[in-house]
Amino acid sequence: MPGLQGRSVRDLKKTIEAEFKREKMAKKNLFETERFFLDVYGLEPGQSQSPHAHEGCDKVYVVLEGSGTIKVGGEVHAVTGGDAVHAPAGVEHALENLGPRRMVALAFMAPHPSPKKRNEPPNTRVTPKD
């Protein structure tokens, strides 16, 4: 099939299953290309992501389960399942689970901050010819 770059159609559909760690927020990659990535984050109650920013890359969080806050710049947004928040490129952002239950969120970023095709099979890169 054109455009699959060596991947099968099965690689294009995944079930969203978060992982959780006692010591810190867990990240699990769902999809990744040279242009974007989509991760699922698992946060136990009280866990948070350290504030950070990505120059030249936008991030969108989508909360699937649980509740907490997403900080973007100087604003704090209360979030719960079904909420989405955009963190523009270069603006500090962070996620925190303030609720009594586990929090599951998707994190979509484009363009990819360090394109390296971690999850794609070998030999899919186009290399320049001499």
pLDDT at 98: 96
Domains of the chain (ranges; CATH) run: 50-118 (2.60.120.10)
Is the entire prediction scored with pTM above 0.85?
A: no
pLDDT at 12: 81
pLDDT along the chain (130 residues), means of 10: 55 89 97 94 98 96 98 97 98 97 98 70 35
Task: Identify whether 111 is preceded by a cis peptide bond (ω within 30 of 0).
Answer: yes
pLDDT at 9: 53
**E strand map for 46-124:** 58-65, 67-72, 75-80, 84-87, 93-97, 103-110
DSSP-based three-state secondary structure for 5: coil
Q: Which of 71, 59, 73, 58 lies closest to 97 in space, CA to CA?
A: 71
